[in-house]
Amino acid sequence: MTIDDINEFEKEFGKIPGHSCVMMYSGWEKHLKDSMFVGLDNKQVKHYPGFSNDAIKFLVSERNIAGIGVDVLSFDPGIDENYTGHKTLFEAGKWGVECVANLDKIPKSGATVIVAAPKVGKATGGFTRIIAVW
């Protein structure tokens, strides 16, 4: 996802409100049970979609979002081995969720998303239950 993608979305649905959750639906779940989900090429480089770091910076600074989510392994594109977007997002005090199921079933705008995560001591991540209502 790029800043241009965000601008195109906002042309149709309006400006993303502050404290929103921005989810990226790529349709990648069609690869959930095959090797494409991880997206490794023959050189062990990952290839799957994600948020560009510039898009994350924009969403954090210009839209004051609460968090982001994706239907792939990471919200950083697979080729970003430094997890640049993670660093940008978490340094801003925002959250991110990955491998989100059923994004194709919720409206592109207007849903309320509840992200409920158990407290896991000293962990860098964990499972969550995500509920969308509209």
pTM to 2 decimal places: 0.92
Fill in the DSSP letter of residue 39: T
pLDDT over 80 at 84, yes or no: yes
Residue 121 pairs in a beta bridge with none
Residues 5-54 have pLDDT tens digits of 999 999 999 999 999 999 999 998 888 888 888 888 888 888 899 999 99
pLDDT for position 72: 94
Amino acid identity, position 78: G
Looking at the structure of the chain, the number of domains it has is: 1
Distance CA 50, CA 72 (A): 8
Between 78 and 7, whose confidence is greater? 7
Confidence category of residue 118, pLDDT binned at 50, 70, 90: confident
Give the torsion sign (CA, 125, 123, 88, 16): positive
Residue among 132, 95, 89 nearest 111 (CA): 132
CA angle 51, 38, 113 (to 5 degrees): 45
Residue 119 pLDDT more than 80? no
Position 66 scores a pLDDT of: 97
Whether the pLDDT of residue 95 is over 80: the answer is yes
> What is the domain-level CATH number for residue 109?
3.50.30.50
Nearest to 126 by CA among 112, 111, 116: 116
Q: Which domain holds residue 103?
A: 3-133
pLDDT at 125: 82
Q: Is the model's pLDDT at 62 over the cut of 90?
A: yes
Whether 50 contacts 77, CB under 8 Å: yes
Q: What is the DSSP letter of 105?
A: G
